Amino acid sequence: MKFTHFDEKGNARMVDVTHKERTERIAVASGKIKVSGEVFEAVRKGSAAKGDVLTVATTAGIAGAKRTWELIPMCHILPLTGCAVKWELDENNFEIKCRCTVRCTDKTGVEMEALTGVSVALLTVYDMCKSMDRTMEIEDIHLIEKDGGKSGHFIREE
């Protein structure tokens, strides 16, 4: 297997996508944070001391996706055309699940942007609720689906 982020001498490099075709790209990633019952209720009711946790975390996730290129050195700057962060509250397990969908039309995919969006959104939940529970656990961040480009359509099998 050839590693694309290294040149023939083993030096790190950004992949040159100059000659690739622009195509519609989409990526969907998800993850979750396990919280205490107290945190779960505060998030559900919007009564956390720092405010509406999921609204702030949604905004943070979108901002994180847009700035992925600043955080991950070999990522290209991509003009995102869409980014959505959605939440699901699992009251049986006190888990807050996050899903981030990112779109663009460009020469490289948006998997890292979707994964970054989920990560930043979940970190924001932690930040806004840490005064109530420092034992929260962020886990299971992964790519669910990607489409566009030469490698085609990928859907993760559960």
* Angstrom distance (rounded) from CA 76 to CA 70: 9
Q: Angle at the Cα of 52 (from 96 to 140), degrees rounded to 5?
A: 20
Per-residue tokens: 58: 């949604």
If one counts every other C-beta atom within 10 angstroms of the C-beta of residue 128, the result is 22
**Phi and psi at residue 70, in whole multiples of 5°?**
-80, -20
Instruction: Decide if 127 is catalytic.
Output: yes
Catalytic pick among 7, 52, 90, 127: 127
Q: Which are the catalytic amino acids?
A: 127
